[in-house]
Structure 1
Amino acid sequence: MYGVHSQHPGRYLRSSPRCGLLKWVTDVPSLRAFTTITALVLALCTNVCAALTSETDSVKTLQKLLGQDANERTFLDPDTAFHLTIEPISDNQLRAVFQIANGYYLYRHKIRFESMDASSPLGQYNLPPGETQDDEYFGRVAIYPRDVAVNLPLLNQSPVERVVIKASYQGCAKKGICYSPIEKIIPVVFNNT
């Protein structure tokens, strides 16, 4: 056990030999050494904390330089950035409309439509030309930085009540991220009354 021993001048604490602990000697020089070491450790911890804060401040500064606020969500989710609707415009024609958020764009060559119903396959459709851009990954490509509409002809023999379209597309934010390819299954209901 720890205890005070008056028979050994300069020693204030010792451990019990039965516990197998080392003696803790706290004479005045040892107390000074302990105090000095403690002060050094505290100073080191203060420097480490200051460095971490400085590093965090550096990241915040970089985000501000890039026009990004660390406290706000920087990028839209893909359904908001590239909102797709498909509606019938006649018994054998659909219109797909991408509403593209400001600061985002779709790759023209990544847009695909396919009918999931064998009784109503899609005919050939034409995508608008788009704007040309030199892309880091795809080279010179056409993009849609604004809303775009595509007419989709159906090759059905008779009017249908419903058709299911699979749409595939991919786009990016101009601030520097590209989304993974997106695939949507969209049921389209005709009002044949």
Structure 2
Amino acid sequence: MMMRILLILLILPLSVLTKAGDSVILTGKAFEKPQYLPVDEAFMLTASRLDESIRLHWLVQPGYYLYRDRMKFPGFKNMPKLPTGKRKFDEIFGDVEVYYDELVIKLHDSSRSALNSSKIDIIYQGCAEAGLCYPPQKREIDLNTLQLKSKNVQE
């Protein structure tokens, strides 16, 4: 009888953990490496024309974020107005502002340095909460077609 009680006391907590599905030890997830999305899936960027400006829209996947202060817009006289991000302590950059879920920025044509150019460049950087930081990304936007092209950051 004592053996049955002991066995029940051992099995009951395990069945609760298994039922909840949250036990990383029982499910084996403690030993799995995190799976990271390709950068263009983690931070899906699109460009559209809106009056005399270009609207940039990033759709940021759950578990990922973009750095506010890592946004750069070479070829623009002034930094565009960026929305306030959420404060976060980042192991690489310390106290930072980041964007979760989505980010929308308007780039006004009149603030471009070279108005005759049909292309603009943007640079941004983001990370996964699970620990991967992507290198800075540079995208060239063709203002005629609004197509995006990946470029080397040093270009």
TM above 0.5, one fold? yes
Identical residues among aligned pairs (%): 31
1:165 and 1:188 in contact (8 A); partners too: yes
1:82 and 1:100 in contact (8 A); partners too: yes
1:86 equivalent in structure 2: 47
- In structure 2, C-alpha distance between the alignment counterparts of 1:171 and 1:85, rounded to whole Å: 16
- In structure 2, C-alpha distance between the alignment counterparts of 1:80 and 1:149, rounded to whole Å: 17
2:37 equivalent in structure 1: 76
- Return the structure number with greater strand share: 2
1:145 equivalent in structure 2: 100
Amino acid in structure 1 at the alignment position of 2:44: H
Instruction: Kindly indicate whether residue 88 of structure 2 is the aligned counterpart of residue 133 of structure 1.
Output: yes
1:186 equivalent in structure 2: 141
1:109 equivalent in structure 2: 69
Unaligned runs of 5+ in 1: 1-60, 116-120
The structure with more radius of gyration: 1
- Assess, with a 3 A threshold, how the Cα gap between structure 1 residues 94 and 132 changes in structure 2: closer, same or farther: same
Q: Deviations over 1:87-139 (max 9, x none)?
A: 2101x211111111111100000011234xxxxx5654111011000111211
2:126 equivalent in structure 1: 171
- Assess, with a 3 A threshold, how the Cα gap between structure 1 residues 142 and 76 changes in structure 2: closer, same or farther: same
TM-score by length of 2: 0.66
Q: Deviations over 1:55-98 (max 9, x none)?
A: xxxxxx9x7216x4x6xx811000111111122101x2111111
- In structure 1, C-alpha distance between the alignment counterparts of 2:53 and 2:77, rounded to whole Å: 9
Greater relative contact order (Cα < 8 A, sep 6+): 2
- In structure 1, C-alpha distance between the alignment counterparts of 2:90 and 2:106, rounded to whole Å: 27
TM-superposed CA distance for 1:188, in Å, is: 2.0
Displacement over 6 Å in runs of 4+:
none
- Assess, with a 3 A threshold, how the Cα gap between structure 1 residues 163 and 87 changes in structure 2: closer, same or farther: farther
- In structure 1, C-alpha distance between the alignment counterparts of 2:101 and 2:77, rounded to whole Å: 25
SS in 1 for 2:69: helix
TM-superposed CA distance for 1:166, in Å, is: 0.5
SS in 2 for 1:86: strand
1:64 to 12, 15, 29: 29
